[in-house]
Amino acid sequence: MRLHILGICGTFMAGIAALAREAGHTVTGSDANAWPPMSTQLERLGIAVLPGYDPAHLEPAPDVVVVGNVVVRGNPAIEHVLNAGLPYVSGPEWLAAHVLQGRHVLAVAGTHGKTTTTSLLAWLLQHAGLEPGFLVGGVPLNFGVSARLGRGRHFVIEADEYDTAFFDKRSKFLHYRPRTAILNNLEYDHADIFPDLAAIERQFHHLVRTVPGQGLLVVNGADANLARVLEMGCWSGVEYFDDPRGWTAQRREGGFEVALRGAVQGEVRTALAGAHNRSNALAAIAAAAHAGVSAAASLHGLASFRGVRRRLELRGSVRGVEVYDDFAHHPTAIAATIAALQEQSDSGRILAVLEPRSNTMRLGSHGDTLATSLERAALSFVYARPDLKWDAAQALASLGDRVRVHAQLDALVTDVAATARPGDRLLVMSNGDFGGVHQKLLDALAAG
């Protein structure tokens, strides 16, 4: 079968492309933008990516067009698909029909931590010899790819609550029909498609409705919003984490200790830092247990987990200044990431370099909490993109002289490089490529 994927460079759709290619299909795709790590993954797989959305990309007609949720009505390629009557499906729909059928699906949902938790869970199953398939919204360093079919019966998937496609406004995760579902946490996000928190809670409850009675929900017991979701109805088993009713973690030097309902299961030494990563690990251990992996085996596997690209990833060090890259783009994730970097070492300053790029950030829905999320950084440098719908300088005024807002990216780079001193850690946060700012900062520091 020949597939053409519209929006192929998104993290999810690039994973679909990898799975389709591995299954023996011929795959091409189109996208308006491409940046690592997905662009490099597609190149390595030999999948042609055509720039833009020219209808000519669809000639001769493929057997099916797989439509990413970045594609909207008015897009010339999708208008051609509709006018020509070409067969089309969404990415989640294709995945459910061609990959997930007959498999034990383990889905990882939540506002934060999905990529790390999915990667962790896939690695724990792999380490236990189960050879799972997976699709992650990032690149786990233990695997080097964001998706694979796997030879085992388990399939681990990052379960996003964002909408499916222009013709299907349900959350993507409703297509996956998991037997094991992690509910990591729940906050307001995606202001471009959800009017309020209650609307997101309703979508999460729709996911709960799809889990069979013999399935398992792995739930953050400390999250009041998830408690409300379960109060709407629950028909499956429930295992809690971050809760004395279930799995808990206690920080130890170089790692943490894990307990189940108060009974210590063991201790692990790991490079994963931060309370949020301990929560991610507990969720993955609990879900792996439902797949038959013992706590002892999971703790052993966790010690060799190498992390995920763009999750506190060290991009380079110049003249004693380290540059880190992270995907954080929500105030809660920003605060957690800064805290995790502090936990790694309390020496040296943390200089936060932030691009408010997500749809929710650009609309200003988190403007009132952003300043608080940056409190623990010594200094913050914020790129006021031209498409921001709010005044970044005004919203961050409470930080005083500890924040600098720049409307020009080059000016931001110059300012950060001039301010940084040996021992500093530059924490760059964005859910996009941030104009290649990581390398620009390294170059500017080297030229210093």
Number of domains the chain is built from: 3
So what's the pLDDT on residue 269? 87
Q: Distance between CA atoms of 122 and 135, rounded to whole angstroms?
A: 9
So what's the pLDDT on residue 309? 79
297 and 330 together in one domain: no
Asked if residue 307 belongs to a domain, the reply is: no
So what's the pLDDT on residue 367? 64
So what's the pLDDT on residue 364? 65
69 and 159 together in one domain: no
Rounded to the nearest angstrom, the gap between the alpha carbon of residue 430 and the centroid of all alpha carbons in its chain is 12
- Taking residue 17's Cβ as centre, other Cβ atoms within 10 Å add up to 29
**Low-confidence spans in the chain with pLDDT less than 70:** 359-360, 364-367
272 and 321 together in one domain: no
76 and 203 together in one domain: no
Q: Provide the whole-model pTM.
A: 0.84
- For residue 331, the enclosing domain spans 313-447
Asked if residue 33 belongs to a domain, the reply is: yes
Asked if residue 351 belongs to a domain, the reply is: yes
Q: Distance between CA atoms of 230 and 237, rounded to whole angstroms?
A: 11
Asked if residue 308 belongs to a domain, the reply is: no
So what's the pLDDT on residue 283? 98
So what's the pLDDT on residue 346? 72
So what's the pLDDT on residue 366? 62
Asked if residue 97 belongs to a domain, the reply is: no
